[in-house]
C-alpha cells in the first residue's frame, strides 16, 4: 500500500509521516513517496522523514523522494496533498499587498486567499490528472492544500468525478484547545456539530460523554476573555507580541503575534453572538477593520511562520546532519497528521467513522445551494463521505455564507474563463474589501505580483 505526499517539502510532512507510521498496521502501508517540485527543500525534509521511519520508529516502510510524477504516483492508493503554490515568498506578498491597501492580509481569507486560490487551482487539477493517470483506479486524494474552499470548488467544477476529499485541521485544533481548556483528557469522546464553508463555519454543539459542554465553555471564554487553555496564558508578557524564535512552541505560538488576536476574537464574537462557537477564521470577516488596525504591514503571519515553524524545522535538520542529534520539537506531530491518517483508515477499512469534510452540499444544509462546497460532519466509508442532513441555518450565518460562497464561485469562474470582470466581482464581493475601487487597486497589484502563477485575465 503506497501513500504519496504531494508537497513533500512541507513543514507538515514529518508530522504526517509520523502519524502514518504509527498507524502502519491499520493502513497496511509499505511505502511512502514524497513528491515536490523543489528538490532541494524536499531532500532536506526526507532526511528527517527517513530518521522518523527507520531510526525513531524502526519500521520497514520504504521511503522514496522524487520530483518525477510517474515515480511518485504509480500504483499509489492514497495521495495526501499539501502544496503551497508560490511558497512563503508569495504568501508574504498576498498578505502585504492586501494590508498596503488597508485590507485583511491573510493566507486563506480575503484578497490574500483569493490570490492564493488563483495560483493553486490549476496545479491542483494537475494532481488529480496525475493520480488518474498513474495511481490505483480506486485512489483517494486527501487534500490539505489551501485555500481549501476555493480549491474544492475548482475541483468540483473542473474534475467532478475525481476521488478527492478536501479537509481542514482548524476545527480539530479548536477542539484540542477546547479540550485543554475544559480539562478533557480523552478528546476521542468529544462529539460536535458544525456547519459552514471552509474557514467560515460554526460549532453548534460540543458534547463530551453525552454532556453539553457549551455552557461551561461560554463561561470559560467570558472569564478568560480569550479561548486558550490556562497553560498557554501563564506568560502574560508574551500575549500578542511577535513570536520568538524558539523551538517547540507550536502550541504557544498561538498566544503570540497574529494568532493571539483570533483566539481573543473568539471571546469578542461570543460576547455579541454567544450561541455558536465560531471558527477562528471568521475573525477576519467579522473584525476586518480591527484586524487591519493591529496588523503590522511589514511583518505578517508569513514572516512569523518563516521565523518559527519553517526556520526551526530546517535548522533542526541541519543540526542533525552536523551532529546526528534530533530534537523532535522541531517538527509538529499531532492532530494535523492524525486527522488525515485517520481519514485514510476510515476510507480504506470502511469504518464509517465521523469526520468533518468539505463536500458538495446536496441538500445537507437545506437553505444553501445544492452545489455549494460546504464543511459538515459525515460518516466516512470506502465510497467516501455520507453526509448528515442538518436543519436550515439561521439568516445571519446564511447571509454571510452566501456572500462568501458567491465570491468564491465567481473567483473560480473568472480564473477558468480568464475573466478580469468576474475576478473583480469576486474581490468586490468579499466582505473584507471595503469598496469596488479598493478591490480594483488590490487586484491590479496582485496581477503584477502573480505573473507566471495566474492565468491571464482579459
| Residue ranges in contact with Mn ion by CB under 5 A | 168, 170
Q: Which is nearer to Mn ion, 14 or 170 (CB)?
A: 170
Q: How far is the CB of 258 from ligand NAD (least distance, A)?
A: 15
CB-CB contact of 33 with 66 (8 Å): yes
Interface segment toward ligand NAD; rule CB under 6 A; list 24-32, 128-136, 138-146, 263-271: 138-146
Q: Exposed e or buried b for every residue in 197-206, given b needs 16+ CB within 10 A? A: bbbbbbbbeb
| Nine cell digits for residue 249 | 512552541
Q: How far is the CB of 401 from ligand G6P (least distance, A)?
A: 18
For residue 79, the tally of other CB atoms under 10 A from its CB is: 27
Q: Which is nearer to ligand G6P, 109 or 326 (CB)?
A: 109
Interface segment toward ligand G6P; rule CB under 6 A; list 162-170, 340-348, 362-370, 392-400: 162-170
Q: Is 83 in the site for ligand NAD (CB under 6 A)?
A: yes
Q: Is 107 in the site for ligand G6P (CB under 6 A)?
A: yes
Active site residues: 169, 281
Q: How far is the CB of 101 from ligand NAD (least distance, A)?
A: 22
Task: Report the SS3 class of residue 256.
Answer: coil
> Mask 179-198, x = binds ligand G6P (CB under 6 A)?
--------------------
> Cα separations (Å) of 367 from 174, 285, 319, 400?
26, 21, 54, 13
Q: How far is the CB of 298 from ligand NAD (least distance, A)?
A: 21
Q: Is 146 in the site for ligand G6P (CB under 6 A)?
A: yes
Rounded to an integer, what distance in angstroms lies between the CA atom of residue 232 and that of residue 260?
Answer: 11
Q: Is 305 in the site for ligand G6P (CB under 6 A)?
A: yes
DSSP E strands in 217-344: the ranges are 277-278
| Nine cell digits for residue 236 | 502574560
Task: Report the SS3 class of residue 452.
Answer: coil
**Closest residue (Cβ) to ligand G6P?**
170
119 touches which of ligand G6P, Mn ion, ligand NAD, none (CB within 5 to 8 A by kind)?
none
> Mask 166-185, x = binds ligand NAD (CB under 6 A)?
--xxx---------------
Residue with C-alpha cell 526556520?
A: 311
Non-local CB neighbours of 89 within 8 Å, separated by 6+ positions: none
Closest CA to 117 of 94, 140, 141, 100: 94
Q: Is 144 in the site for ligand NAD (CB under 6 A)?
A: yes
Rounded to an integer, what distance in angstroms lies between the CA atom of residue 325 and that of residue 316?
Answer: 9
Q: Is 301 in the site for ligand G6P (CB under 6 A)?
A: yes
| Nine cell digits for residue 338 | 492524525
Q: How far is the CB of 410 from Mn ion (least distance, A)?
A: 22
Q: Is 2 in the site for ligand NAD (CB under 6 A)?
A: no
Q: Is 87 in the site for ligand NAD (CB under 6 A)?
A: yes
> Which of 4, 10, 258, 450 touches ligand NAD (CB under 6 A)?
10
Q: Is 95 in the site for ligand G6P (CB under 6 A)?
A: no
Q: Is 149 in the site for ligand NAD (CB under 6 A)?
A: no
Q: Of residues 309-338, which lie at the interface with ligand NAD (CB under 6 A)?
A: 336
Rounded to an integer, what distance in angstroms lies between the CA atom of residue 20 and that of residue 24?
Answer: 6
| Nine cell digits for residue 277 | 462557537
| Nine cell digits for residue 45 | 525534509
Q: Is 146 in the site for ligand NAD (CB under 6 A)?
A: yes
> Which of 5, 29, 170, 262 touches ligand G6P (CB under 6 A)?
170
For residue 31, the tally of other CB atoms under 10 A from its CB is: 15
145 touches which of ligand G6P, ligand NAD, Mn ion, none (CB within 5 to 8 A by kind)?
ligand NAD
Burial of 315 from C-beta contacts in 10 A (0-12 / 13-18 / 19+): middle
Task: Report the SS3 class of residue 261.
Answer: helix
Going by their DSSP bridges, the two strands 31-35 and 62-66 should be labelled as: parallel
- Contact set with ligand G6P (CB under 6 A): 107-108, 146, 168-170, 173, 301, 305
Q: Which stretches of the chain bind ligand NAD, using CB under 6 A?
A: 6-7, 9-12, 36-38, 41, 82-85, 87-88, 123, 144-146, 148, 168-170, 336
Amino acid at each position: 500500500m503506497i501513500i504519496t505526499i504531494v508537497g513533500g517539502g512541507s513543514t507538515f510532512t514529518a508530522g504526517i509521516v509520523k502519524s502514518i507510521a504509527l498507524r502502519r498496521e491499520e493502513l497496511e502501508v509499505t511505502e511512502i513517496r514524497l513528491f515536490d517540485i523543489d528538490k532541494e527543500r524536499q531532500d532536506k525534509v526526507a532526511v528527517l522523514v527517513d530518521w522518523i521511519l527507520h531510526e525513531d520508529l524502526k519500521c520497514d516502510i520504504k521511503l522514496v523522494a522524487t520530483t518525477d510524477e510517474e515515480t511518485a504516483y504509480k500504483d499509489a492508493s492514497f495521495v495526501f496533498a499539501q502544496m503551497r503554490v508560490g511558497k512563503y515568498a508569495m504568501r508574504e506578498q498576498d498578505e502585504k499587498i492586501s494590508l498596503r491597501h488597508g485590507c485583511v492580509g491573510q493566507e486563506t481569507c480575503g484578497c490574500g486567499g483569493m490570490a492564493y486560490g488563483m495560483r493553486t487551482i490549476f496545479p491542483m487539477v494537475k494532481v488529480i490528472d496525475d493520480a488518474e493517470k498513474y495511481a490505483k483506479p480506486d485512489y483517494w486524494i486527501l487534500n490539505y492544500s489551501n485555500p481549501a474552499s476555493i480549491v474544492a470548488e475548482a475541483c468540483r467544477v473542473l474534475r467532478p468525478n475525481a476521488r478527492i476529499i478536501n479537509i481542514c485541521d482548524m476545527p480539530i485544533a479548536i477542539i484540542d484547545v477546547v479540550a485543554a481548556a475544559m480539562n478533557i483528557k480523552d478528546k476521542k469522546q468529544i462529539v460536535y456539530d458544525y456547519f459552514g464553508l471552509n474557514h467560515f463555519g460554526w460549532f453548534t454543539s460540543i458534547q463530551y460523554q453525552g454532556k453539553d459542554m457549551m455552557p461551561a465553555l461560554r463561561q470559560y471564554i467570558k472569564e478568560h476573555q480569550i479561548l486558550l487553555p490556562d497553560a498557554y496564558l501563564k506568560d502574560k508578557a508574551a500575549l500578542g507580541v511577535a513570536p520568538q524564535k524558539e523551538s517547540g512552541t507550536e502550541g504557544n505560538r498561538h498566544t503570540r503575534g497574529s494568532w493571539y488576536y483570533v483566539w481573543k476574537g473568539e471571546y469578542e464574537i461570543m460576547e455579541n453572538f454567544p450561541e455558536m462557537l465560531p471558527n477562528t477564521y471568521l475573525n477576519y470577516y467579522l473584525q476586518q477593520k480591527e484586524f487591519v488596525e493591529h496588523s503590522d504591514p511589514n511583518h505578517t503571519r508569513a514572516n512569523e511562520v518563516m521565523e518559527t515553524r519553517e526556520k526551526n524545522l530546517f535548522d533542526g535538520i541541519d543540526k542533525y546532519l552536523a551532529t546526528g542529534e534530533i530534537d523532535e520539537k522541531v517538527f509538529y506531530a499531532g492532530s494535523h497528521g492524525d486527522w488525515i491518517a485517520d481519514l485514510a483508515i476510515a476510507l480504506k477499512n470502511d469504518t464509517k467513522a465521523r469526520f468533518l469534510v468539505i463536500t458538495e452540499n446536496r441538500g445537507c444544509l437545506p437553505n444553501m445551494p445544492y452545489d455549494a462546497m460546504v464543511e459538515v460532519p459525515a460518516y466516512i466509508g470506502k465510497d467516501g463521505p455520507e453526509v448528515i442532513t442538518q436543519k436550515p441555518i439561521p439568516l445571519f450565518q446564511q447571509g454571510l455564507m452566501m456572500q462568501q460562497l458567491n465570491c468564491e464561485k465567481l473567483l473560480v469562474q473568472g480564473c477558468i474563463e480568464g475573466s478580469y470582470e468576474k475576478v473583480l466581482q469576486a474581490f468586490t464581493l468579499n466582505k473584507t474589501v471595503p469598496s469596488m475601487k479598493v478591490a480594483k487597486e488590490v487586484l491590479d497589484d496582485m496581477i503584477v505580483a502573480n505573473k507566471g502563477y495566474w492565468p491571464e485575465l482579459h
